């Protein structure tokens, strides 16, 4: 199944196997607290520092009142007063329990959120998902923690064919574990990153070259893959503003 995530001018199209833990309710944090209007601004700042987030939800019983940011609290200039003493303009972004995690990532990206509130079908607050947990989960569901190798292709957008790329890989008795495509804004080129189930990539690379694909880079040993993943996730987290 294909999913498209727009992230600050880039798009990421990700192919992953259908696995469990793909909806919002499965990623709700068990540790991130919610605020009450009676809580002090300084309390909120302390919690944000402890949990390394820049937003926290304000909740009245089960009603989600909105997100408050560290910038909002600093703007009060009176962190020792209860949050409810101030006239705040809170925004109320949220996802529902059954929404796919890629929709959660899209919302976090668009609004530069460090946490995403989750509501049930009755609009009751259920908790939040942190963007750092989203990134870790994405690594798991896209098989990045599985053994194998990586091949990165660069091609013109009009030449992209998923079926041909998959056929080339599978013609070498190799399986595609996951795949994603990135493209900078106003570019006609795509970068296609393939994770495959083998570290022996020579035959696959040669086949791609016979079909006139440009192999931009490839990674096969574990140390190099760790560095590769680190760079890619640093890029993704940069655009998620983590």
222-239 vs 131-141: helix axis angle to the nearest 10?
A: 140
What confidence score (pLDDT) does residue 2 get?
47
φ, ψ for residue 120, nearest 5 deg: -90, -175
φ, ψ for residue 28, nearest 5 deg: -60, 130
Structure tokens at 215: 């192999």
* Domains (range + CATH), the chain: 20-139 (3.10.580.10), 144-239 (3.30.70.260)
Q: What is the mean pLDDT of the chain?
A: 82
Contact residues for 104 (Cβ-Cβ < 8 A; gap 6+): 24, 27, 95, 116, 129, 134
Contact residues for 202 (Cβ-Cβ < 8 A; gap 6+): none
Structure tokens at 176: 């595609």
Distance CA 79, CA 220 (A): 52
The list of the chain residues with pLDDT below 50 reads: 1-10, 17-18, 222, 242
What confidence score (pLDDT) does residue 153 get?
93
86-144, pLDDT tens digit by residue? 877 788 999 999 998 888 888 888 888 999 999 999 999 999 999 888 877 776 666 66
Distance CA 27, CA 118 (A): 10
What confidence score (pLDDT) does residue 87 get?
77
Of 123, 112, 102, nearest to 21 by C-alpha is 102
Q: What is the pTM of this model?
A: 0.66
What confidence score (pLDDT) does residue 242 get?
44
């Amino acid at each position: 199944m294909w999913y498209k995530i727009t992230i600050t001018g880039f798009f990421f199209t990700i192919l992953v196997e259908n696995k469990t833990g793909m909806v919002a309710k499965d990623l709700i944090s068990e540790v991130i607290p919610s605020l009450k209007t009676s809580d002090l601004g300084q309390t909120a700042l302390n919690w944000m520092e402890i949990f390394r987030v820049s937003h926290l939800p304000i909740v009245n019983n089960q009603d989600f009142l909105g997100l408050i940011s560290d910038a909002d609290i600093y703007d009060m200039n009176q962190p020792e007063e209860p949050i409810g003493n101030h006239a705040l303009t809170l925004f109320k972004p949220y996802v529902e329990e059954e929404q796919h995690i890629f929709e959660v990532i899209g919302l976090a990206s668009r609004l530069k959120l460090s946490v995403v509130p989750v509501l049930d079908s009755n609009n009751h607050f259920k908790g939040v998902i942190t963007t750092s947990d989203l990134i870790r989960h994405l690594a798991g569901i896209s098989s990045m923690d599985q053994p194998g190798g990586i091949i990165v292709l660069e091609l013109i957008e009009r030449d992209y064919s998923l079926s041909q790329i998959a056929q080339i890989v599978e013609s070498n008795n190799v399986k595609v574990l996951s795949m994603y495509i990135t493209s900078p804004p106003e570019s006609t080129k795509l970068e296609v990153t393939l994770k495959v189930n083998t570290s022996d990539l020579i035959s696959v690379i040669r086949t791609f070259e016979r079909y006139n694909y440009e192999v931009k880079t490839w990674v096969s040993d574990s140390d190099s893959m760790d560095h590769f993943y680190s760079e890619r996730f640093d890029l993704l987290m940069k655009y998620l503003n983590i």
